[in-house]
Amino acid sequence: MNTNSLVMTELKAGRREWLGLASLAMPTLLLSIDTSVLYLALPHLSTDLGASSTQQLWIMDIYGFMIAGFLITMGTLGDRIGRRKLLLIGAAAFGAASVMAAFSTTAGMLIAARALMGVAGATLMPSTLALISNMFLNARQRATAISIWMSCFMVGMIAGPLIGGAMLEKFWWGSVFLLGVPVMVILLAIGSVILPEYQNPQAGQLDLLDVALSLAAILPFIYGFTEVAREGWLLVPLAAILVGGIFGVVFVYRQLKLKDPLLDLHLFKNHAFSATLILMLLTAVLMGGIGFFIAQFLQMVLGLSPLQAGLWMVPQSIGMIIGAMLTPVMAHRTRPAYVITGGFLLTTAGMILLTQVPVSGGLPFLITGFVFAAIGVTPIVVLGTDLVIGSAPPEKAGSAASMSETSNQLGIALGVAALGSIGIVIYRAQIVHHFPDGVPAATTKVAQESLVGALSVAGKIPGPSGSSLLLAAREAFTAGLHVATLIAALIFALLAVFAFISLRHIRPGSKAQQ
């Protein structure tokens, strides 16, 4: 056995590490279940708590806002105080906040509980990924571990509606929040024994001004683009985006000047690190935006219920699980650039198929195209996460993991706003040319705003005019879907070229080098 073989054998993880991965998979599974079950529980809890429409939006959104805002802080904090310690603290806090959410007596109390769950949830993802990088030093095993980690997230997205639906039939709405309590108790019991501890002994103290600046940059930015997707380019969301951008510039300037920054921007000097983050960000932008279109198409064009629409999204999740498990196998002897490029080309083909979705009978085209697209993006998610974490020094793994997760959160918000805005422009341009005769002027104005508006007024118009308006609105929305997916196909084709050029020097099973 040569020296290289001995080194690889020594680096390989054993039973303890794989058991540790199993314990890390639990919070990942829980976070995805928690995200998906709330859509089912929202009507029940809104009625029980008397939540207004604005409060309902905050109940849904505040969790994601807080996760996105605190990811950078928590990733770096784990590097400084210990990743296992932060994970266990976050698990305990998440369990306590889940109990508070389950037994909330007012909408305001539930919003506060969801905010605390978001802050606690922000500790889980970067700590989990950073610990995976500590436990799995062998590059092939690390890629496999990350693929299992990602698959658990997708299993949660599948299981969420099924488990939530069953629980809501038997118990009250708060029961869905109690799902997390036993999971976190098990993690606390097992994680303290099995998981290794790692911290950067040379890290300085956490600067609260840095934390405040990062929150002031990310939270308004995410809020602004979320509101743009919901209400359009109005003054308040635009102002929020501008404020977030200004604080973002101040934050970056300060980080470049500090000796011990909250976010080490020098990691971007590594070409593979920065290129991979760009690829992951743009992938999140495109898939987040198209996923938003797909969900609306299923419900408002095909007329499916939210639960039915959720079930038709299951094949996409299964496709991502299959892709995640196959990716490490393909990457064992093939350069990551080739696997990622091939995935982007498959996603491009899926997006092209989505450009052909008809208004009537379009479900097979829709699901097939989206499944192809989902399978195609799994290599950049799995190998990209591995490259980002693997290219960072061990003491910066938490910070690198937080950048990976933050790029995903930002990308989804940007994608829903950007592609959603394109869809609205196409919708309004199309529907004005296809209005049926006999539609009142006031009704016309409402229908021109969005498909939601058209659906709300079409049923009130008697005779064939109402049906004609509904068909015209659905055709206009489908035209917007076609344009959005065509744009996505072109960008994914460009990403395939960029991935091939920027990552082709990385060999199978090696860390990303500058």
Would 41 be classed as within a structural domain? yes
Q: What are the pLDDT digits (tens) for 352-411?
A: 999 999 988 888 889 999 999 999 999 998 888 888 887 777 777 777 788 888 888 778
Cα 412 to Cα 419: distance, rounded to the nearest angstrom: 10
Nearest Cα neighbor of 38 from 93, 105, 118 is: 118
Which 8-state DSSP code applies to residue 268? Answer: G
Nearest Cα neighbor of 72 from 512, 514, 396 is: 396
> Residue 239: what pLDDT?
92
Cα 398 to Cα 249: distance, rounded to the nearest angstrom: 23
Instruction: Answer with the one of 238, 261, 284 that is the final residue of a domain.
Output: 261
Would 221 be classed as within a structural domain? yes
With a cut of 70, say whether residue 220 has pLDDT above it.
yes
Mean pLDDT of the chain: 81
Would 6 be classed as within a structural domain? no
With a cut of 70, say whether residue 25 has pLDDT above it.
yes
Residues 409, 335, single domain; the answer is: yes
Residues 421, 309, single domain; the answer is: yes
Overall average pLDDT of the 275-282 stretch: 90
Which 8-state DSSP code applies to residue 175? Answer: G
Overall average pLDDT of the 115-136 stretch: 86
CA distances from 57 to 52, 54, 175, 419 (A): 9, 5, 20, 21
Cα 280 to Cα 287: distance, rounded to the nearest angstrom: 10
Instruction: Answer with the one of 229, 244, 261 that is the final residue of a domain.
Output: 261
Q: Where are the alpha helices (DSSP H) in 332-440?
A: 336-354, 363-391, 397-431
> Residue 227: what pLDDT?
80
CA distances from 282 to 279, 351, 373, 407 (A): 5, 15, 14, 9
Structural domain boundaries enclosing 318: 266-514
Domain of 58, CATH number, reads: 1.20.1250.20
The per-residue b/e assignment along 50-62, b for 16 or more CB within 10 angstroms, e otherwise, is ebeeebbebbbbb
Q: Is 130 helix (H, G, I), strand (E, B) or coil?
A: helix
Residues 229, 368, single domain; the answer is: no
- Selected residue with higher pLDDT from 455 and 71: 71
Nearest Cα neighbor of 177 from 61, 62, 31, 65 is: 31
Residue 8 C-beta-side C-alpha neighbours within 13 Å:
10
Cα 436 to Cα 492: distance, rounded to the nearest angstrom: 38
Q: What are the pLDDT digits (tens) for 46-68?
A: 778 887 767 777 887 788 888 88
Nearest Cα neighbor of 411 from 231, 212, 221, 151 is: 221
Residues 131, 229, single domain; the answer is: no
Would 7 be classed as within a structural domain? no
pLDDT grade for 434, boundaries at 50, 70 and 90: low
Which tokens sit at 452?
């939601």
Cα 97 to Cα 71: distance, rounded to the nearest angstrom: 18
Overall average pLDDT of the 188-203 stretch: 79
Nearest Cα neighbor of 36 from 370, 310, 290, 406 is: 310
Q: How far apart are the first and last CA of the chain?
A: 30
> Which range among 163-177, 397-411, 423-437, 483-497 has the greatest average pLDDT?
483-497
- Give me the number of domains the chain comprises: 3
Range in 3-17, 115-129, 424-438, 453-467 with the lowest mean pLDDT: 3-17
pLDDT grade for 242, boundaries at 50, 70 and 90: very high
Would 2 be classed as within a structural domain? no
Distance of CA 33 to the CA centre of its chain: 13
> Residue 426: what pLDDT?
87
> Residue 3: what pLDDT?
42
Which 8-state DSSP code applies to residue 360? Answer: S
Residues of the chain with pLDDT > 70: what percent?
89
Would 187 be classed as within a structural domain? yes
> Residue 22: what pLDDT?
84
Cα 219 to Cα 251: distance, rounded to the nearest angstrom: 13
Please report the sign of the dihedral spanned by the C-alpha atoms of residue 273, residue 278, residue 279, residue 283: positive
> Residue 403: what pLDDT?
81
With a cut of 60, say whether residue 429 has pLDDT above it.
yes
Phi-psi region for residue 263, left (φ > 0), alpha (ψ -120 to 50) or beta?
Answer: beta
Would 5 be classed as within a structural domain? no
> Residue 513: what pLDDT?
44
Residues 346, 473, single domain; the answer is: yes
> Residue 63: what pLDDT?
84
Phi-psi region for residue 434, left (φ > 0), alpha (ψ -120 to 50) or beta?
Answer: alpha
With a cut of 90, say whether residue 484 has pLDDT above it.
yes
Instruction: Answer with the one of 261, 286, 303 that is the final residue of a domain.
Output: 261
> Residue 473: what pLDDT?
83
Residues 438, 301, single domain; the answer is: yes
Answer for the pair 366, 387: CB distance below 8 angstroms, yes or no. Answer: no
Nearest Cα neighbor of 129 from 375, 410, 390 is: 390
Residues 299, 359, single domain; the answer is: yes
Which 8-state DSSP code applies to residue 392? Answer: S
Residues 406, 353, single domain; the answer is: yes
**Cβ-based neighbours of 4, under 8 Å, separated by 6 or more:** none
Residues 244, 285, single domain; the answer is: no
Answer for the pair 392, 198: CB distance below 8 angstroms, yes or no. Answer: no
> Residue 354: what pLDDT?
94
Helices 397-431 and 107-135: crossing angle in degrees, nearest 10, is 130
With a cut of 80, say whether residue 178 has pLDDT above it.
yes
Phi-psi region for residue 77, left (φ > 0), alpha (ψ -120 to 50) or beta?
Answer: alpha
Number of other CB atoms surrounding residue 227 within 10 Å: 20
Residues 245, 337, single domain; the answer is: no
Would 24 be classed as within a structural domain? yes
Cα 86 to Cα 91: distance, rounded to the nearest angstrom: 8
With a cut of 50, say whether residue 8 has pLDDT above it.
no
Residues 492, 378, single domain; the answer is: yes
Number of other CB atoms surrounding residue 393 within 10 Å: 11
> Which range among 83-87, 228-232, 436-440 has the greatest average pLDDT?
83-87
**Cβ-based neighbours of 462, under 8 Å, separated by 6 or more:** none
Residues 329, 470, single domain; the answer is: yes
pLDDT grade for 36, boundaries at 50, 70 and 90: low
Answer for the pair 373, 351: CB distance below 8 angstroms, yes or no. Answer: yes
Cα 1 to Cα 21: distance, rounded to the nearest angstrom: 29
Which residue do the tokens 């007329």 mark? 303
- Our CA angle for 70, 199, 151, nearest 5°, is 60
Range in 221-235, 236-250, 333-347 with the lowest mean pLDDT: 221-235
pTM for this one? 0.82
Range in 24-28, 126-130, 506-510 with the lowest mean pLDDT: 506-510
pLDDT grade for 176, boundaries at 50, 70 and 90: confident
Nearest Cα neighbor of 206 from 98, 76, 34 is: 76
